[in-house]
Amino acid sequence: MSEQSSWHAFYGTAFWQRRRQLQLREHPLCKFCLERGVITKATVADHVQPHKGDWNKFCLGELQSLCTDCHNSSKRYVELRGYRMDIGDDGWPLDPNHPANRHR
Ligand SMILES: [Zn+2]
């Protein structure tokens, strides 16, 4: 089983179904669309920081509500912010354009 498909099983757990439902109930609108002044119903509970298969991060990591379009288009996120949010193993953002890296 590849690493990717083992993460996939996380999304089938009752725990995740509950957490996803709760997130979408509390934040029913797509966050990225809202930032552009557009109201869109969110359908995806997305991890703000990639959990990379870490069960703890998957369970406890901060979530954001997104519509399918925004979720499938991380490119749009980069366009909006100018950088990616991916965090490296040292806890530092990977993208050299991330504000945290500009002072390095
Ligand atoms: Zn959206």
Is this prediction's pTM over 0.85?
no
56 with 63: CB under 8 angstroms?
no
Q: How far is the CA of 103 from the centre of ligand 1 (A)?
A: 31
Those residues with Cβ within 8 angstroms of residue 86's Cβ, 6 or more apart along the chain or in another chain: 50, 93, 94, 95
Q: How far is the CA of 70 from the centre of ligand 1 (A)?
A: 4
Q: How far is the CA of 33 from the centre of ligand 1 (A)?
A: 4
Q: What is the pLDDT of residue 1?
A: 45
Q: How far is the CA of 1 from the centre of ligand 1 (A)?
A: 32
pLDDT-based confidence at 95, cuts 50/70/90?
confident
Q: How far is the CA of 79 from the centre of ligand 1 (A)?
A: 13
Q: What is the pLDDT of residue 67?
A: 94
Tracing tokens 């990639």 back to the chain, one arrives at 50
Q: What is the pLDDT of residue 77?
A: 60
